[in-house]
Amino acid sequence: MAQPNYTRVLINGWQSILMFGLLGLVLALIISFVQPLRYSSTTRLLILQDVGSSGDAYTASRAEERIADNLSTIIYTSTFFDEVLNAGFGVDVNQFNEDDSKRRREWGRMVKATVARGSGLLTIAVYHEDINEAEQIVRAVAQVLTDQVGDYTSGGSVSVQVIDAPLNSRWPVKPNILANILSGFVLGGFVGMAYVVVQTERIRRRHQLVHG
């Protein structure tokens, strides 16, 4: 039996590939809806450092970006988390696990800090099942950074300004159901392609054994 044309094999096996794709789509839907739906509240902060008359604009910008990077890492620490809880925004302590390691993981999944390259612009996003709680937490994070930035930085006068008030999502943003559906369908399709090719190879080898 001659070597099969795999392009034709895949075309002829489109039904199997589609079936696996739909199966992957269904599994992705199930996994998505098993997870709690979470909203987001996002604020943006501007990190400023006074480098005095000796510093140029480029040096100042690089310094602010570096400080923003450091702050984006500090946000995930237990010390910062405790400051957020004590910031006076009524954040529900009971929603977090009492175990320190589990509490850190929960906090890491709840908050996300990103820095715009080439600037001192720090974006804070908080994900929560309750949009009001998400907003209170992101406000608390911004307040701690604004009031206590000097405790987390060194070398020069650093200040933090809130330039965008918290923006709340109207719909749940996690899990990303559309992205999950697409990924599930595509991955299922690849599995289907592999299945079709493997089945074709099995038939070819069986034919070689019988007629060889």
List 161's β-bridge partners, or say none: 46
Q: Is 80 exceeded by the pLDDT of residue 207?
A: no
SS3 content of the chain, % helix, strand, coil (to 5): 60, 20, 25
pLDDT bracket for residue 10 (50, 70, 90):
confident
Together in a domain, 85 and 15: no
Residue 1 lies in a domain: no
State residue 176's pLDDT score.
79
Judged against a pLDDT cut of 70, whether residue 108 lies above it is answered with: yes
Residue 89 domain flag: yes
pLDDT tens per residue, range 16-60: 999 999 999 999 888 878 878 899 999 999 998 876 655 566 666
Helix, strand, or coil here: 29?
helix
* DSSP-derived secondary structure for 42-104: EEEEEEEEE--TT--HHHHHHHHHHHHHHHHHHTTSHHHHHHHHTSSS---GGGS-SSHHHHH
Q: What is the pLDDT of residue 54?
A: 53
Q: Based on the domain organization, do 54 and 96 belong to the same domain?
A: yes
Host domain of residue 183: 6-35+176-211
- Looking up tokens 């908080």 gives 126
Q: Based on the domain organization, do 119 and 101 belong to the same domain?
A: yes
Q: What is the pLDDT of residue 52?
A: 60
Residue recorded with tokens 């987390």: 152
pLDDT band with cut points at 50, 70 and 90 for residue 152: confident
Backbone angles phi, psi at 5, to 5 degrees: -85, 105
Q: Are residues 99 and 120 in the same domain?
A: yes
pLDDT at 164: 93
Whether 61 and 110 share a structural domain? yes
Please check whether residue 79 lies inside any domain of the structure: yes
Residues 185 and 99 in one domain: no
pLDDT confidence of residue 45 = 96
The model's pTM is 0.76
Same domain, 154 and 78: yes
Number of domains in the chain: 2
- Shared domain for 114 and 18, answered yes or no, is no
User: Which residues lie closer than 8 Å to 159 by C-beta, 6 or more apart?
Assistant: 47, 48, 49, 50, 149
Q: Which pLDDT value is given to residue 190? A: 94
Q: pLDDT band for 194, please (50, 70, 90 cuts).
A: very high
Average pLDDT value for residue range 143-148: 93
Please indicate, yes or no, whether residues 63 and 158 belong to a single structural domain of this protein. yes
Same domain (yes/no): 119, 196? no
**DSSP H or E run through 151:** helix 131-152
Lowest mean pLDDT among 4-8, 72-76, 107-111: 4-8
Mean pLDDT of all residues in the chain? 87
Same domain, 43 and 31: no
The CA distance from 81 to 76, in Å, is 7
Pair 19, 94 in one domain: no
Within-domain flag for 29? yes
Kindly report the CATH number assigned to the domain that includes residue 80: 3.30.70.1130
CB atoms within 10 A of CB 195: 15
